[in-house]
Amino acid sequence: MAVAVAVLRHLAPLGPRIPPHGCAGGRLLQHRRGLRLSAAAAIQVTVRDALNQALDEELERDERVFLLGEEVAQYDGAYKISRGLWKKYGDKRVIDTPISEMGFAGIAVGAAMAGLRPVCEFMTFNFSMQAIDQVINSAAKTCYMSAGLIGVPIVFRGPNGASAGVAAQHSQCFAAWYGHCPGLKVVSPWSAEDAKGLLKAAIRDDNPVVMLENELLYGVPFEMSEQAQSKDFVIPIGKAKIEKQGTHITLVSHSRLVGHCLEAASVLAKEGVECEVINMRTIRPMDIEAVEASIMKTNHLITVEGGWPQFGVGAEICARIMEGPAFNYLDAPAVRVTGTDVPMPYAKNLEDNSVPQVKDIIFAVKKVLNV
C-alpha cells in the first residue's frame, strides 16, 4: 500500500499551484478533497474553506460546540465562512441571531459559563465594540474573579481590520484593544493552515479566545500540508512561526501583512538583503521569545501591522524587546510600520496610503539597514 501511495505521489505533480480565483477553483478543490488516494500530498485551500473545515470538524467532534451570529445559518455566513453548516447540523448548532451584538455576545458568554462551547461570530469586529463589555468584563475576567470556579470556553471570531473601500467605521483593527486585556487570548491567522489550526485550538481552549480574521484573506488559497488536513490538526496558541529564514533583519507581523512582508522580502532578496519574516499567529500571549531569538541573529527589527501606531501591537513588541536580552543585539532602533494614523478614508488613492504597502516595508528595511 505504501508503495502504491509513493508511486502516486511521484506521478501527481503537486506543489504551490495557484488555481483560478473564485468559485471554480474552490469547487475543484472540493472534488479533490474527496479523493483520499493521494492523501500524502499538500493541497491548495482558501482561508474561507479552512475556517469552514475547522468549524465543521469541531461541531462534529464536540456536541457542546455551537455557532451563533448574524446570518451564520440560513445565509451560509455573511462571508460564507459557515457555508453548509446549518444544513448539516441544524437550528440547535448553528443559530441566526437578530442584530443585537451586546445581547447575543452576552448570551454566548452565559452559555459558555453554563457548560457549552459557543463560537460567537461578529460580522466584523467593528460591531464587537457594541458588545465589548461582554467580551472583557463578562468573558475575560470571570475566571479570575471567581478564583477559577467558572471558566468561559468561548470563541469570538470574525473579520478584523482594513477591507477594501468600506471606509472609517468598518475598517478598524482591534488587535491592540483585545490584546491589552489579561484573561483573553487573541489570535490572528494569516495562512489557511493558521486559520484552521488556530480556530480548532481556540474552540478546544477552555478560555475566551478572540480570533481576528481578515476579510481580504478569505478568498486567498494557501498550500495546506497533509498534516494540516487532519481532523486533529491544531496550532498551539502562543507560538509564532518563522515563515522565511533570514540573516540581515527581522520582520514581525500578523495577519494579512505577513504576506506583504514576504513580498518585500522576495524583492529585497534580489538586492542581497535576506529578511527573516515572523508570523506572530498569536497576539496574546505573545511569543516574544521567537522575536528575541531572531533579533539575536539579525540585529535589526521592524514590526509591521495594519492597525494604528499609537499603543499598537508594534509598540508593545518594541517595548518588550527593550526590556529583554535582545536589546543588546540591536544595531539600530526598532522600527514600526503601521496603518496611517487617520480614520480610514474611502477614496482608493487615500485608502491605499492609509495601510502599509510593500514599498513602505522595503523603504523601512533600507532605512534601518542604511542601504
Partner 1 sequence: MRKMLLAVLSRVLQSPAAAAAAAKPASRVMVASRNYADFANEATFEIKKCDLHRLEEGPSTTTVMTREEGLKYYKTMQSIRRMELKADQLYKQKIIRGFCHLYDGQEACCVGIEAAIKPTDHVITAYRAHGFTYTRGVPIREILTELTGRKGGCAKGKGGSMHMYAKNFYGGNGIVGAQVPLGAGIALACKYFGKNEICVALYGDGAANQGQVFEAYNMAALWKLPCIFVCENNRYGMGTSVERAAASTDYYRRGDFIPGLRVDGMDVLCVREATKFAAEHCRSGKGPIVMELQTYRYHGHSMSDPGISYRTREEIQEVRSKSDPITLLKDRMVNNNLASIEELKDIDVAVRNETEEAAQFATTDPEPPLEELCHHIYFNEPPFEVRGPNQWIKYKSGS
Annotated catalytic sites, by residue? Answer: 101, 170
Packing angle, helices 47-61 and 192-204, rounded to 10: 20
Shortest distance, CB of residue 76 to partner 1, whole angstroms? 20
Taking the least distance from each CB to partner 1, the nearer of 3 and 147 is: 147
Residue 312: which of 334, 290, 329 has the closest Cα?
334
For residue 66, which amino acid is it?
F
Name which of 150 and 164 has its Cβ closer to partner 1.
Answer: 150
69 Cβ contact list (under 8 Å, min separation 6): 95, 96, 97, 104, 120, 121, 122, 123, 158
State in angstroms the smallest separation of the CB of 354 from partner 1.
Answer: 32
Q: Which residues contact 253 (CB under 8 A, 6 or more apart)?
A: 260, 261, 277, 278, 279, 280, 303, 304, 305
Closest CB to partner 1 among residues 285, 345: 285
Cα Dmax for the chain: 60
Binding site for partner 1 (CB under 8 A): 66, 92, 95, 97-98, 100, 102-116, 133-134, 137-138, 142-153, 182-183, 185, 206-207, 285, 323-324
**Nearer to partner 1 among residue 137 and residue 357 (C-beta):** 137
Q: How far is the CB of 323 from partner 1 (least distance, A)?
A: 4
Q: For residues 286 and 364, which CB has a smaller minimum distance to partner 1 in the complex?
A: 286
Q: In this complex, which beta carbon is closest to partner 1, that of residue 46 or of residue 138? A: 138
Phi, psi of 322 (to 5 degrees): -65, -35
Least CB distance to partner 1 at residue 252 (A): 19
- Within a 13 Å sphere around the CA of 148, how many CA atoms are in the beta-carbon half? 0
Least separation, in Å, of the C-beta of 12 and partner 1? 41
Please state the closest distance from residue 140 (CB atom) to partner 1, in A: 9
Whether the Cβ atoms of residue 278 and residue 251 lie closer than 8 Å to each other: yes
Alpha-carbon torsion (79, 83, 87, 90), positive or negative: negative
**What are the residue ranges of helices labelled H in the chain?**
2-11, 23-34, 47-61, 85-89, 101-113, 132-133, 141-145, 175-179, 192-204, 257-270, 288-298, 313-323, 348-352, 358-369
Is the Cβ–Cβ distance between 152 and 208 less than 8 Å?
yes
DSSP tally for the chain: helices H, then strands E: 14, 14
